[in-house]
Structure formats: structure tokens, C-alpha cells
Chains A and B, each alone.
Chain A
Amino acid sequence: MKKIPIKGFVLLVITTMLIYLLDHPLGALPAIGRLLEPVNGCLANAEPVNKNFSADLKLPAVKGGATVWFDNRLVPHIHATNDHDLYFLEGYIHATFRLWQMDMETRAAAGRVSEVVGDKALAFDRKQRYKGMGYAAENSLRAMEADSRTKLIMDAYTEGINAYIGTLNYRNYPFEYKLMGFAPEPYTNLKISLLLKYMADDLTGSTDDIALTYLRDILPRDELELLFPDRIPGSTTVIPPGTVFDKPSLTIPAAPPDSSAFPHFEPADFGEPKVDGKGSNNWILSGSRTASGAPILCNDPHLALNLPSLWYEAQLQAPGINVYGASLPGTPGVVIGFNDSLTWGFTNNYRDVKDFYLIKEVGGNKNKYWFAGKQVDYVKRVEVIKVKGKPDIVDTINYTLHGPVTYAEQNARAGGLRKPLAMCWMGHRPSNEMLAIYLLNKARSYNEFVDAIMHFECPAQNMGYADRQGNIAIWGQGQFVNKWKDQGKYVMNGTDSSTLWKELIPMRENPHSLNPAQGYLCGANQINTDNTYPYNYNGSGWVNLRAWRINDLLKDRQKATVKDMMDMQQDTYSELAAGVLPLMIKYLGDSIKNEHSLINIFKGWNYQLNAEGMEATVFQIWWQYFNSELWHSDAGFSLKGDYLPLQEKTMQILQQNPPQDPNITYKSSLLSASIKSAINVSFRMTADSFIRIKQPDKRPPENREWYKVKNTTISHLTKLPALSYDHVKIGGWGNTINAAKNDHGPSWRMVVQMGKEIEAYGVYPGGQSGNPGSKYYASFLDDWSGGKYYRLDFMPNADKQSDSAIKYTWTVQP
């Protein structure tokens, strides 16, 4: 009889446990063994720097042969023989380079992040569900699939993504799947719709309706108009003043009595913070103002700066289409770009298309609410949120005839509104923006451009246009409601039928300008029109500082070149600093000036927020402290940050109450200090904090440089610093043309001259590959921050190319 090998069994148990532990995630750590094993784990994603991307692909779904040329920046130029193959290949290529990002973004849109990261994302997922993101995406999906053109391209695109997913096993999963421990799932047309709604929400998501409802009650009416006007005095407009608008085909409705239209809030009802606006610049010069005589269009949409980037450059060719530009991985087509006839760009329009209604619940009955004197049943939508490692969460969301009850008891977040508010959002309605993109990509003339954008309902955009015939144009495009004055500016009474959205304004009556006498057009998130535009509208984020600067630079500009326009996109001149700093310095008492030599830093400053300048750091800190000192932080609710009057408004108040004026007696119940005292106190605070700015290496001057203090960060979607780039060396701020903020900024800079030859340049802060193990992951970042551009290689629509920039070729056969 042999000995029982106890030692052996103990070792066996220990070894099995070791392997088990290494095979399972531990807390925040991924399954280490699986991740580190060098054949299939993360190192399998370490792409050879000299990888040859060329391939012969057999893809049975493809109907004809196709070729994809990758240039030296890994931009694909796809040449197909029909629409199906073109969008199939676009999907296949998006998935090849950006699959995980598409998965995460569509999960984020749908509120399905908890499914892969656990309950830390639950609050986020809930918010998405209560906003009705899934409801919105399903509505638009029906509209998109009802049109045979968009049905075809979406099916082909999704099929392409899934064909790529079908080739994957664990070894070639994108890196982040291994890190986070989940697997790709099949793509669907619904995900395309979700992603479009994600963009719509991002661009029409912020709202000041709730804050304004409260301010409206606590401020005298003239004060409210002064501090929170729709139209800041001196505003420029997207559509040049003097433009003659079409006679409105609809009758402008009269406003109902105030008492029936608007409810009242108590301070305790409060606190949805206003999300910072998404700005963008778009300017177009007619040939009369350029050196070449051809029009130039410049666009730089300011969006969240992430890795992998939101954008992916691509050229798409098939019979009837040859288009180049920034595509949005997860959706077919090119969103911003140019084709062989014309070019277009987008900036956010900010006409308010998201309104809120206070719902009157029926006491004792959770299934009904009051409307027009009757009890109405909620439509219930059950939302199941899967949570990794936990049981599912089931929420029932009540839909009223306005829309989902977004703010409800179940959804009360820290500081959230405690009253039931239903959201009425244009994005909830069925619309087919995909068709607009598809037609825009193929458009050959101004008329075709206009026909295309008539399908672009939400998010409303200012769409800039230039073509090779020399036309320039801009449209304030989107689907809008024929509102009575101030309808939807404040939270409305949800029991009264007079507050409902009624007629839609025919989209061809939207404000637009074609070849204006001034020879240029500029959309930089300022108000759309002067007050001769017949319909009522209010805004949800109009700003003026960038628009003022752009107009200043363009109004006398002659013989502009492409290079001039690139330089202009790098401009960091602060209209705000130029407008307020001399006054602020004048207000300072002599004793403070003598006490703090810091004030001398401004001598000779040109008001450029340079990356390496320290003037910008001092000014920005001072301005921030000044605002929090000046405006009440406790007027029943916090005005700090979120609900301050626009900075251009504060600037105007300063300018209208100059220090030499003995009666600087501007008063408001929102002021917590006099202008003079706020300036002096805030300067002391600035001087103090400037000394305290972190100086770990004891070399203070470097650490006070503006770019180090503001810390523009291009963050990986997981927010992991190891996959992100912080302290990117770039100047500017949200109110300068080069609007690089902490995590937002120019996400795609493009300058296109539409002459006989198309001269196009572009750059974005990222790279063509989403793989953190690829040298193409962030390969454009330094050039982006350094203000450099790439000449965009627009290849002729042909099945053979002799372009020397072509580095790799895919030959695709059915």
C-alpha cells in the first residue's frame, strides 16, 4: 500500500487556487493570468511598429470586388462598386480599428455600462434611461428603417461590423476587452441610432430651464432681462443682420397667461447643474476675400477630447459618391468633410429643443397624472439594467404626453430636483439624420445640399457650406416648434394644454444665408438671427466671445490664404481679458498694487492665452475668484459656477460701471459684494493661490504656465491615466477660437479651399487606431497641439491609384 501523498494534494489545492485567482478579476484588477499570458493576453495587442496592414480579404458578403488604400497616416480610402459594399467595408474598417470604442459609446448611449463595469456606473445608466435614450433611438430607428436608402446602408454597415467581429477570438480582441474582461457583442442598427442620439443628447443636453424658472421668481423682471438675456447687447448673429427672412407660413401663437403657463419653484427644489456648453467654430470665406479667389470653409467642432477619438478619417468612393472627412465610428458615412463638389461643417445651433413640464401627480394613484382637468394614464416603460456581478435593476419609467418623467423620486440624485418633471425633447421624435448624412455625402450642388439637410432634425446645427462654383452659405438647421414667446424658456405647467408643443416650423423656413454681401459667414454658437426673424425662439447656451473675435478678424480680411485660416484656428486671443483686465487693474487699490508685484505680470500682455504664458494663468484665476466673490453664492440656491450670468454679461456690467465713475452703484439682489470690493478681494486670493500652485520640483515658474495649470487632457474612455495624455501643451480656453479646455476642445480642425483643385487640411487629437498598443493610437496628438495640419489626400474616384502616399492595400474579393 502506497502512502497517501498529503503534501501532493495540499500543493494541488494551492496551485489550483493560484490559477483560479489569476483567472478571475479581483476587485478593480482584471484576471491577471489571462491578461499577462503573452500569446493571447494583452501583449498580443502589441502591434509591431512596422506592421504590414496590406491584405487580401475574402468577404463573401461583398457583391463586387473592392479596394482599400491606406495612406501613410493609416487613413483608408475605400473604393467599392456599389453602396452596399462601400458601407459594408466602412463598417468592417471601423470595427477593425475602433470596435471597443463603438461598443462602449453605444452602451453609454443606452445606459448599459453597468453591464460591463458593475454598479459604479449605475447612476449614469439610470440617468440615460430616465432621459429616454432607448425610447428615442427606437423611434428614430423606425424612421431610418422605413427609408430604403438608409435601411440599405445601415444593414450593410452593421453587416460589415459583424463580419469583422466574426473573425475574432480572444487573442485578437481589442485590448480593452481583455483589460475589462468582457467580449464583443453583435452590432445592430439600433446601436447606430443610439450613437446618433448620444450625439444629439451631447449637443442639446444642457438646459437652464430649471434655474431660470427659479431666477424668474426671485429677480425683478428688468433685472432678469438684464442678467440673463437671450440676446446679449452687441451680439453678432450667425445669419448676418439684414438678411431678409421668408414670410412665415405659420401664425405665431400668442402666449397664454403667465399664471397658467409657468409653475414656481422653491429653493429646496433645486440643483441640476448646468453642463458646460459644447462650442464650435465654423467660418466660411467667399472667393472675394481669399487670395486664390476660391471659397474657404473652416470648421472645428469642440467636443469631448478622448482616446480613441470620436472621429475617424476616411474617404468613401463608389459610383455617385466620392467623399472625404471625419466619420463617426459606429455610424455609416462621413459627418464633416467634403466631396468633389462641395464642403460642409457643423457647429452647435443651441436653439432650445428640450423643454420641461411640471407634472401634477394624482394623489394616491401611481399610475395617473393630471392633464387638462382629467386623469391620464402614464405609459410605462420597463427598463432592465444589467449589473455585472449583481442582480438586474428594474426601473419603470413613466411617460406622459410630454415625454418621460426624467426627474422622479426614484431618480433623485444628490442635489437633483425633487419634483416630477417630464422632458419634451426633439430627440425623442422619430427622425432620419442618417439620410441627411447620406445625401450630404453625395450632394453635388447647393440645392442638393439644402435637400439633404432637410432631413437633419436634431441636434440642430449651424451648417456651413462652400462649393467649387464659389457659393458660400450657412443654415441654422434643425426641426423647431412654432412657439409663443418664452415658451419652454422656463419649466412649464404640465397640466395645461396651452403649454404643449404644437405646429412644427417647415424646415425650409429655417434661417439661412447664401452668398451674403459681407463675403463671409461665421457660426460660433452665438444667437442665430437678429430680431427680424419672424418665429419665437430661445437659446440654451449662446455665447459671444469667440464670435466677436472671429468677426473682428474677418471683417477687414482680404486675400486670405489657407495658412491664414489655420493660424486663425490657433488664435488664443481672449476678448474677455481684453475687455475686463484694464478695468480690473484700475479698480485695484494702490496698497494692493504695491503689496503684490504679481500685478506687473500684465505689463505689455497681448491678451493671448499662450500655452507657456503665465499672464493667462493669473488672469483666469483672478476672473474665476472675482465671479465667485461678486455673485451671490447663497441667494436661496448656489449661483456659483453653474448659474452665473454669462461672462460677457459680467464684462458688460464692468464696462458700464467704470471705476472713474463716482456712482458705481450697480446693484442687484444677486450681487454679494460691490464690484470694487470683489475685484480687490479676489486679487488678494489670486496672489495667494498663485504662490501655492503646486511646485513639486521647486521650479515654480514652469508650473505656473497656463497649459500646466489648465491641464488639457486627452483621456482614454476608461479614464485610465496610463492610456491617456495629460498636460497637453496647448493654449486657449473655451472663450478663445482655439478652445482647448480641460477635457473639451477642437475635436477636428478642418480647412478646405474649394477651388479648381480641392485643397483640404485637417487634424484631430488622436490617431487612426484605437489600439493603445499601436503606434497609430495617438499619432496626431503632437501635431494637433502644435497647430500643424495634414494635407488631406483626396484621391480621384478610380479603381487604380498612383498616389505615392499609399502605404498598404486591401484587395477585397467576394
Chain B
Amino acid sequence: MDSSTIKIMRFLFSVLIIALLSAGAEFLLPWWSCAVVCFLVALFARQSGGRAFLIGFLGVGIFWLVAALLHDVANEHILSTRMAALFKLPNYWLFILVTVFIGGLVGGMAAWVGATLKPNSIKPSR
């Protein structure tokens, strides 16, 4: 495999790890435990700041999206429609989008922090 494929694989693996660990964490711990997961994963992943943000954003975002959709589809959008109305959003999928964005933002920021604070020894060589 060439190095760019490895990079992509590593990137996707980090996203997947974050999604899975966040899911596990949030079943047991407070909602912001996903941020801790992102921070820790970014600490050990060989990713630069910008890419770490993307990993965190996608990792938590994907998990929140999947979890939200699992609830919402089975619920036929009853609650998401009310929540959208509550936040003055025009429809339920915008509510889901806002949810996913907020989760992603928290995950991305936390991963960025991790990538920036990690020891030099595991920073990607430039």
C-alpha cells in the first residue's frame, strides 16, 4: 500500500474508533464524555490539528447522526418535529442537522486540542 492509502485508512480508522468509543461512553457517562474520547484518540493518532478536527467532527457527528436517526425513524419524526418547532426550525431534518453539527463541533474541538497538546514523540513527522 502506498502512504496516501495508509493515511486514509488511518484517518478512517480513527473516525470509526471515535464513533464506537463515544457510543460506549455515552451509554454510561455524561454527554460530554465523547469529547474526552476525541481528545484521547487525537492524543495518540498521528494526525495534524486540522485533520484531527475533521476526525473528531466526523467521529462524533456520525455517531450522533446514527443514534438520532435510529430514534427518529422508529418514532416517525414525532419528537424531532416538535423539537424543530421549539427551536423555530422549519422541519425535523434541520433539527437533526443542528444536533449532528453540535456533536461534531464538540468532537472536532476536543480532537483538535488533543492533537495540539500531544507529546512530540507521536506527532506526525513533517
Contact = CB atoms under 8 A, between A and B. Distances in A.
A773 B110 CA distance: 31
Contacts of A38: 64, 67-68, 71, 99, 103
Contact of A15 (B34, B85, B99, B113): B113
Contacts of A12: 113, 117
A48 B117 contact: no
Interface in A24-40: 32-34, 36-40
B80 A46 contact: yes
B26 A773 contact: no
B78 A49 contact: yes
Interface of B: 23, 26-27, 30-32, 34-35, 64, 67-68, 71-72, 74-76, 78-80, 82-83, 85-86, 98-99, 102-103, 105-106, 109-110, 112-113, 116-117, 119-120
Given A22-B102, A722-B82, A15 B110 contact: yes
B32 A19 contact: yes
Contacts of B85: 721-722
A83 B116 CA distance: 65
A772 interface: yes
Interface centre among A42, A774, A777 (most CB of B within 10 A): A42
Contact of A773 (B30, B79, B109, B120): B79
A20 to B, nearest CB: 9
A33 B113 contact: no
Contacts of A34: 30-31
B83 A42 contact: yes
Interface stretch (A3-11, A60-68, A118-126, A558-566): A3-11
Contact of B23 (A19, A32, A39, A41): A39
Interface in A501-526: none
Interface in A729-778: 772-775, 777
Closest 7 CB pairs of A and B: A773-B79, A37-B31, A46-B75, A722-B85, A8-B116, A48-B74, A38-B67
Given A11-B113, A34-B31, A49-B76, 18 more contacts: A5-B117, A8-B117, A11-B109, A22-B102, A23-B31, A37-B64, A39-B23, A39-B67, A42-B83, A43-B71, A43-B72, A44-B71, A47-B79, A49-B78, A722-B82, A722-B86, A723-B82, A723-B86
B116 A774 contact: no
Nearest to A12: B113
A2 B120 contact: yes
A601 interface: no
Contacts of A41: 31
A42 B98 CA distance: 14
Interface in A43-73: 43-50
Contacts of A49: 74-76, 78
Contacts of B27: 39
Given A43-B67, A722-B86, A37 B113 contact: no
A53 to B, nearest CB: 14
A720 interface: yes
A18 interface: yes
B90 to A, nearest CB: 13
Given A12-B113, A34-B31, A43 B78 contact: no
A48 B113 contact: no
A41 B68 CA distance: 10
Interface in A685-728: 720-723
A37 B61 CA distance: 11
A14 interface: yes
Contact of A43 (B68, B86, B98, B106): B68
A710 B70 CA distance: 40
Nearest to B70: A38
29 contacts: A8-B117, A12-B113, A14-B109, A15-B112, A18-B109, A19-B35, A22-B102, A33-B102, A36-B98, A36-B102, A36-B103, A37-B26, A38-B67, A43-B67, A43-B71, A43-B79, A43-B80, A44-B71, A46-B72, A46-B75, A46-B79, A47-B75, A47-B79, A49-B74, A722-B85, A722-B86, A772-B78, A773-B75, A773-B78
Contact of A22 (B67, B86, B106, B119): B106
Nearest to B33: A37
Contacts of A33: 31-32, 102, 106
A772 B32 contact: no
A46 B74 contact: yes
Contacts of B72: 43, 46
Interface centre among A19, A50, A721 (most CB of B within 10 A): A19
B103 to A, nearest CB: 7
A722 B90 CA distance: 12
B52 to A, nearest CB: 10
Interface centre among B105, B116, B120 (most CB of A within 10 A): B116
A723 to B, nearest CB: 6
Nearest to B112: A11
Contacts of B34: 37
Nearest to B110: A15
A37 B75 contact: no
Nearest to B76: A49
Nearest to B85: A722
Contacts of A774: 78
Given A19-B106, A23-B32, A8 B67 contact: no
Given A18-B105, A19-B35, A40-B26, A773 B82 contact: yes
Contacts of B112: 11, 15
Contacts of B64: 37-38
Contacts of B98: 36
A5 B116 contact: yes
B78 A775 contact: yes
A43 B68 CA distance: 7
Given A8-B116, A19-B35, A43-B72, A37 B103 contact: yes
B39 to A, nearest CB: 8
Interface centre among A11, A15, A723 (most CB of B within 10 A): A15
Nearest to B56: A15
Contacts of B103: 36-38
A34 B31 CA distance: 6
Contact of B86 (A8, A48, A720, A777): A720
